[in-house]
Structure 1
Amino acid sequence: MSLKEKIKDDIKQAMRDKNESRLGTLRMLSAAIQRREVDERIQLDDVQVIAVIEKLVKQGRESIEQYVKGGRQELADKESGEIAVFQAYLPQQLSEAEIDQLVAEAIAATGASSIKDMGKVMGVLKPKLQGRADMGQVGGKIKARLGAG
């Protein structure tokens, strides 16, 4: 079953369960997927659906930060709930040690020796880490390794 089919099934289940908050969140996710499909005139595969979910999670985290700064904890809590629903569709997150290992392997494989080689390293890592790690954090780890080397 594809990720899109799973989301559609979960929308139907949320309707049956009369779980309004989950239903609203899943509909938002489905709309984001459909919007990208219509804009690009393509059918998204699971990897592309994961990219859409990651984008929504990132936007949600940014929103939480703004809500907390603005003293709107109830909105931050609502956003946290939505992120939890989205994350259920992402692959299992990698541990720090696993990410460090993959970064080290990618640097060795590409022969990267300076920060100028960061693009090569990211090119190798992105398909392996898509949806399984925060790419911003990974970029920081690569910079730390290449900057020190």
Structure 2
Amino acid sequence: MIRDDIKAATITAMKAGEKDRTAALRQISAKIKDRDIEERTAAAPATDDDVLVTSVLQKMAKQRRESIEMYETGGRQELADKEKAELAVIEEFLPQMMDEDATRAAIEAIKADLGASTMKDMGAVMGELRTRHGAVLDGKLASGLVKAALS
């Protein structure tokens, strides 16, 4: 289970004296706990635990990528390097994302299943992509590929 892996990695990092890694792992644990609290207070039924944790990790990774881009654009390489280190820790616990070829194949299969052919069908195709491959789908890549496939 992902939670157990994160806890074990935190303990290992603490014993090894890896302060930056320990801090990143603690951030991950805190975000997961925040999400648990949100789920308890939400009216919607709870989702699968691994899916929940994966969505938290994907959001954290996306935030780090955006920060890296902004820091590099702003000439703050030391902050970008810190974010890159945190991103590397987060990505250790994420499932392997679909590559471009696998994403194209999934899009073509969904286009065939839904009979999608125009840009008006983009929402339906993206929705089905998220339903079938949400945990391993790079949304930004998929969006561009869907646009290209439906143009």
Distance, in Å, in 2 between the alignment partners of 1:99 and 1:47 is 20
- State the TM-score, normalizing by the size of structure 1: 0.90
Instruction: Please identify, of 109-118 and 124-133, the stretch whose mean Cα deviation from structure 2 is larger.
Output: 124-133
CA RMSD of aligned residues (A): 1.6
Tell me which of 48, 52, 73 is aligned to 1:48: 52
Instruction: Please identify, of 54-63 and 118-127, the stretch whose mean Cα deviation from structure 2 is larger.
Output: 118-127
Instruction: Please identify, of 126-135 and 59-68, the stretch whose mean Cα deviation from structure 2 is larger.
Output: 126-135
Runs of 5+ in structure 2 lacking a partner?
41-45
User: What secondary structure is seen at the aligned counterpart in 1 of 2:136?
Assistant: coil
Corresponding residue for residue 76 of structure 2: 72
- Equivalence map 1:108-123=2 (5 Å): 108-123=112-127
Within the alignment, does 1:135 sit opposite 2:145 as a pair?
no
> After TM superposition, what 4+ stretches of structure 1 lie above 6 angstroms from structure 2?
none
Distance, in Å, in 2 between the alignment partners of 1:120 and 1:94 is 20
- State the TM-score, normalizing by the size of structure 2: 0.89
Distance, in Å, in 2 between the alignment partners of 1:80 and 1:6 is 21
User: What secondary structure is seen at the aligned counterpart in 2 of 1:120?
Assistant: helix
Asked if structure 2 preserves the Cα contact closer than 8 Å seen for 1:107 and 1:121, the reply is: yes
Runs of 5+ in structure 1 lacking a partner?
none
Within the alignment, does 1:20 sit opposite 2:19 as a pair?
yes
Given residue 26 of structure 1, which amino acid in structure 2 is its aligned partner? L
CA-CA distance at 1:93 after TM superposition: 2.3
Given residue 2 of structure 2, which amino acid in structure 1 is its aligned partner? L
CA-CA distance at 1:43 after TM superposition: 7.8
Distance, in Å, in 1 between the alignment partners of 2:70 and 2:55 is 23
User: What secondary structure is seen at the aligned counterpart in 2 of 1:130?
Assistant: helix
Corresponding residue for residue 92 of structure 2: 88
User: What secondary structure is seen at the aligned counterpart in 2 of 1:142?
Assistant: helix
Asked if structure 2 preserves the Cα contact closer than 8 Å seen for 1:37 and 1:43, the reply is: no
